[in-house]
Amino acid sequence: MPILARMLPAPLTMQVRRGAIAELGSLLTDSRVATSGRVAVAVGAGQGDKIATMIASTLGEAELFRVPDGSVDAAVSLGADLRKGAFEAVVGIGGGRTIDATKYAASLAGIPMVAVATNLSHDGICSPTASLTHEGGKGSFGVPMPLAIMVDLDFVHDAPPSLVRAGIGDVVSNLSAIEDWQLAAAERGEPIDGLACAVSRTAAEAVIGRADSIESDAFLTVLAESLILSGMSMVIAGSSRPASGGDHEILHAVDQLYPGTSNHGELAGIGAAFCFFLRDDTQRLAQVVGCLRRHELPVTPGDVGLTEEQFTEAVVLAPATRPGRYTILEHLRLSDTEVRERVGAYVRAVGR
């Protein structure tokens, strides 16, 4: 019988637990990521010293690099250092910025990358993209998926709570992204990947109804796994489609118009809630808003310091941030006046 199957890339190992960073050395050797010991470690500006001390005993041979920020320049400079040093692999330890810069640097140097996350702010831990800043704003760059993935819950507990809660907004926004993909399939005949949808949706559903929050190890484990699965859904789809729809178009527009307003995951959550409002899906809207509120995440533009007018401008600009992606925003094609009315109605519907 012929066996016809799709082969999917996947990380060699994935660990979500406390104390993961301290045992990094054995992970690298056991999974044969690095056998000769020529490993580079990239750490962020914030927790770099603490991490360096922790890994000194197990990764004594490793050369340590500091990643000053999540810019293209920082990533290119690290990429040049990695190439010069002829390393077997690079381990990126830190938050989203450090991991994304290291991912891009590894792809430039042509070596595998191990991602070790210390917070859970978005689904970039395992995604095949790196989001980096440059003179013109922020860009998303295609990169290979990390070879191994670790989330150290000790560090996650110590991370700023807002950077951990933010991941909830990013993963819940998958539900809106999938609606958009289905809409594009129905109206535009865009091919849809059922497996990518299943992975992305299941990740969001695992988080959305939970009563516990970021204080609990059980919750953090599910959140970390969901964010990793969300990244995997993008690997399966070969694009960010299963985790980025109108919700992310709105967040990119907010980033462009009002840089520094809030972080990725918080804005994704607001974008998703607003998109469910536009779809008149009262049930999902209530569920998403309930989830965001339960975890103290922002829901209205005012919650992140934007006026209704500023948010209106972002929604109007949103489709232009991702040309070719068909979502509820492109479907409705609202005029500026209509957007303003819908934003006002949204705030009245969900505001407290």
Closer CB to Zn ion, residue 107 or residue 121? 121
Nearest to 238 by CA among 164, 128, 318: 128
Closest CA to 308 of 261, 345, 264: 345
Number of chain positions touching Zn ion (CB under 5 A): 2
Residue 320 CA to residue 37 CA, distance in Å, equals 47
| CB of residue 43 to Zn ion, shortest distance in Å | 23
- By C-beta, is 170 or 313 nearer to Zn ion? 170
Q: Residue with CB nearest Zn ion?
A: 170
Buried b / exposed e across 185-202, counting CB within 10 Å, b at 16+?
A: eeeeebebbeebbebbbe
73 burial via Cβ count (<10 Å: 0-12, 13-18, 19+): middle
Residues 250-309 that bind Zn ion (CB under 5 A): 268
Binding mask of the shown chain, residues 159 to 178, with x at each position contacting Zn ion by CB under 5 A: -----------x--------
CB nearer to Zn ion: pick between 91 and 203: 203
- Of 315 and 334, the one with the shorter C-beta distance to Zn ion is 315
CA distance 251 to 266: 9
Task: Calculate the CA 134 to chain-centre distance.
Answer: 19
Does position 180 bind Zn ion by CB under 5 A?
A: no
**Mask: binding to Zn ion, 115-134, rule CB under 5 A, as x and -?**
--------------------
CB of 220 to Zn ion, least distance (A): 18
Q: Which residues are annotated as a binding site for glycerol?
A: 123, 170, 248, 264
Residues annotated within the binding site for NAD(+) are 96-100, 118-121, 127
Interface residues toward Zn ion, by CB under 5 A: 170, 268
